[in-house]
Amino acid sequence: MRLFCLFSVLFVQSAFFVSSVFSQNQWAMRGGGPGNEQTHQAISTLDGGYILVGQTDSYGAGGTDVYIVKLNPAGQLQWTKTVGGPGNDVGRGVVQTADGGYAVAGWTNSFGGGGDDCYLIRLDGSGQLQWTKTYGGSGNDRAWALIEDQNGGFALGGQTSSFGASPNQFYLVKTDAQGTLVWDRRSGVSGVANIGYSIVQSPDSGYVVAGSTYNWTGSGSTSSTDVYAVKVDKLGNQVWATRVQNSRDDDARSIAATQDGGYVLLGKKYMVSESTWDIYLVKLSGSGQLVWDVSYGMTNSEEGYSVVELEDGSLMATGVILPAAPIANTWYDLYLVKFSSAGVPLWDRMFNSTLYGSGGNSSNLADYNVGRSVFRTSDGGYAVAGYLGAGNSGAGTEELFFLKFTDQDASCWPWLSGGVMSPGSATTLAIGSTAATNGTESTGGTESSGGNVAFLCSIVPLSVQSSSTASCESLCTGTAVASVFGGTAPFSYSWSPAGGNSDSASGLCPGPYTISVVDSNGDTAIASVFISPVSVNASVSASPDSLTFSANNQNPNASYLWVRCPDFTGNLGTQPSYSPMNQGSFALIVTENGCSDTSDCISFTPSSGMDFFVGGEPVHIYPNPASNKVHFWREVSSLDARIVVVDVMGKEILSANFSASETKLTLDFPYPSGVYFVEFSSSKGKRIQRLMIQH
């Protein structure tokens, strides 16, 4: 396989780093604990990672607990959570909520009012338990699926035996965002049993639940099992119910809303002529009418568990392919089929983890692999989650299983393929109605954690990212570094138009460059980088009174150094501005991002003034005679001082404090021309000087 990935990034100023990925990572992950774990649903999360929900008996408070596992985008474990009580608790559906948290639905017999009760669990974004709720009656009530609806509440689809005469009926529970029961509904009529396995919200804010139905006499089934779908409005009132009938058994385990306003259902269908099961795909219109149905599979039996519509209207389905009859020490295989929007199969893939080695437990791999959930990933790839185990007889342990792959391209693991399509010939029958129930609400559950993950295989496509430092405008001082991800070592590097043949380049002039990396498989990745020019301007201007010089175009990232001309020596100051004390010529050196520039020399000649010392500290009064302003300078700023100005009669007319942090103080002098006296005092002493004012 040859990969060619192009990365284009613009870099400015100093070191900066951006990543773009055109091809997706591929990996297979297994995980859990010493007991048994299963994944029933998984979804992509807002951070590019994944969350899996199912059940565990390795950790938690009881027989089985709800098990929630969070992975990062690379499949590495971020956290796990168990929720449950002393009985058996199972997680079947998961959503990420609008606030970034998670909701999980399933059932529990640890809490509630009956055998099994529907179970709703709310977590925050880091997996901390917020609350739990149970719903149901005195019988068994199970939630097989969950959605967050358009108003932020939740809808649970499943089954109930708490209400009505049939052993099972469709059960739909509507809650608000806090899990408070809004209403619950059962669907069906006397003599008919049905189970809801999957739920979607309709465009008009109603709900559609899909599953299976069969006739019931009170002691047993009197008909084959059929695909069944029910739509209710947002208040729970039935809009339509459709039963899809074939000559033998079939059911629906998953439903997806399609772009044309209809629905596609996935399950299994018994093929009388072959005495096996096939994956069964049914398309309904928005009004519940049968549009088409199709079955598909290899020579053995297949079952479909999850379907998703893709952006182009095509469909991806997953499930299992299994032997036609139970055979000891054989395995189920995960099965993937991609269909067109019209139900025409495009390709199929079968995954068997024992193909990694000699098979079974001897290679520390699984004897069976079950795909329970398929979905599109945020990077444009696909993922299938489920579980794997050892031995069809149930001996050994089961583990979480997660596959990350691209369309038809799964080089990380071996694939087998080759199925046959059979056109459908089903008929439909509209039956049933919804009825309100008297389900009750309760709470319960404790949280814990545990488990780990391991990679069966991982392929990270070759990619390269670049970082750079800027170059001085008139010099070639830029650098760039290539960081390689994925691929197979060793790697060869080539910078263009200059830079050499290693993973780093130096001495680069401002401008664009590319780095080409080739791995040992011949796969190529390219990144581009721009070496930005750094322009430093050390020009200097004087203040209006010519007493202070300041740098133009001041930058907080630059450093400053004032020096004497013409030899550019001394450290006279490191601020953008400088006030000379004595006559001389001065220049400013500005340094930014390793690049320096020196200003032209600027001369300073003070007008007449007066120098004196206070306790050995030199002080300069400028100018003297003065007009409207008088400036006081001192070379050393170490002590607080006070300035007092008096007239010839000894009357104080002006005073100011000269703090230890100041070297310059300017006083306005709006007084008549004449002779005045300035008293300068500090802890080192006091000195009085004569000051002439001439307007």
Given CATH 2.60.40, say whether it is the number of domain 540-604: yes
Measured CA to CA, the distance from residue 29 to residue 57 in angstroms comes to 19
pLDDT over 90 at 327, yes or no: no
Give residue 683's pLDDT band: very low, low, confident or very high (50, 70, 90): confident
Give residue 485's pLDDT band: very low, low, confident or very high (50, 70, 90): confident
- Say what the pLDDT of residue 198 is: 97
- Say what the pLDDT of residue 684 is: 83
The neighbour count for residue 248, using CB atoms within 10 Å, is 12
Same topology, domains 540-604 and 610-693? Answer is yes
Residue 472 near residue 479 (C-beta atoms within 8 A): no
Measured CA to CA, the distance from residue 209 to residue 229 in angstroms comes to 6
- What is the dihedral angle through the alpha carbons of 572, 578, 582, 584, rounded to the nearest 10 degrees? 80
Measured CA to CA, the distance from residue 234 to residue 242 in angstroms comes to 19
For residue 301, the SS3 value is strand
pLDDT over 50 at 284, yes or no: yes
| Residues 176-208: b if buried by 16+ CB within 10 A, e if exposed | ebebeeeebbbbbeeebbbbbbbbbbbeeebbb
- Say what the pLDDT of residue 445 is: 57
Q: Taking residues 592-598, what's their average pLDDT?
A: 81
Which comes out higher in pLDDT, residue 191 or 203? 203
Q: Taking residues 653-669, what's their average pLDDT?
A: 84
Q: Taking residues 151-179, what's their average pLDDT?
A: 88
What's the pLDDT tens digit per position in 535-558?
777 888 876 555 567 778 777 888
- Say what the pLDDT of residue 671 is: 87
Q: Which residues contact residue 474 at a Cβ distance below 8 angstroms, ignoring those fewer than 6 apart?
A: none
Q: Which two tokens stand for residue 38?
A: 């299963």
pLDDT over 80 at 179, yes or no: yes
Give residue 281's pLDDT band: very low, low, confident or very high (50, 70, 90): very high
pLDDT over 80 at 440, yes or no: no
Measured CA to CA, the distance from residue 480 to residue 504 in angstroms comes to 6
**In this predicted structure, which of 126-130, 244-248, 463-467 has the lowest mean pLDDT?**
463-467
Average pLDDT, the chain: 79
pLDDT over 50 at 202, yes or no: yes
pLDDT over 70 at 475, yes or no: yes
Strongest mean pLDDT among 271-275, 366-370, 571-575? 571-575
Strongest mean pLDDT among 228-237, 406-415, 483-492, 682-691? 228-237
Give residue 254's pLDDT band: very low, low, confident or very high (50, 70, 90): very high
Whole-prediction pTM value? 0.64
DSSP string, 214-261: EEB-SSSB-S--EEEEEEE-TTS-EEEEEEEE-SS-EEEEEEEE-TTS
- Say what the pLDDT of residue 635 is: 64
The neighbour count for residue 161, using CB atoms within 10 Å, is 22
Which one of 1.10.1240.10, 3.40.50.300, 2.60.40.420, 2.120.10.30 gives the CATH number of domain 37-437? 2.120.10.30
Q: Which of 595, 599, 592, 605 is closest to 538 using CA atoms?
A: 599
pLDDT over 90 at 667, yes or no: no
Going from N- to C-terminal start, the domains of the chain cover 37-437, 464-531, 540-604, 610-693
Strongest mean pLDDT among 17-26, 93-102, 681-690? 93-102
Measured CA to CA, the distance from residue 564 to residue 118 in angstroms comes to 84
- Say what the pLDDT of residue 460 is: 57
The neighbour count for residue 420, using CB atoms within 10 Å, is 13
- Say what the pLDDT of residue 413 is: 53
What's the pLDDT tens digit per position in 625-651?
887 788 887 766 667 888 899 888 888
Residue 400 near residue 51 (C-beta atoms within 8 A): no
Q: Which residues contact residue 8 at a Cβ distance below 8 angstroms, ignoring those fewer than 6 apart?
A: 20, 527, 528
Would you report the helix, strand and coil content of the chain in percent, each value rounded to 5? 0, 55, 40
**In this predicted structure, which of 117-131, 210-224, 437-451 has the lowest mean pLDDT?**
437-451
Measured CA to CA, the distance from residue 669 to residue 624 in angstroms comes to 12
What's the pLDDT tens digit per position in 6-46?
222 222 222 212 222 223 467 777 888 888 899 999 999 99
- Say what the pLDDT of residue 19 is: 23
- Say what the pLDDT of residue 351 is: 73
Instruction: Give Cα separations from 301 to 264, 333, 345, 658 (angstroms).
Output: 21, 11, 17, 95
Measured CA to CA, the distance from residue 251 to residue 253 in angstroms comes to 7
**In this predicted structure, which of 86-100, 238-252, 415-429, 502-516 has the lowest mean pLDDT?**
415-429
Q: Which of 137, 133, 135, 145 is closest to 178 using CA atoms?
A: 133
Q: Which of 136, 41, 131 is closest to 93 using CA atoms?
A: 41
- Say what the pLDDT of residue 522 is: 76
Q: Which top CATH class is 610-693?
A: mainly beta
pLDDT over 90 at 154, yes or no: yes
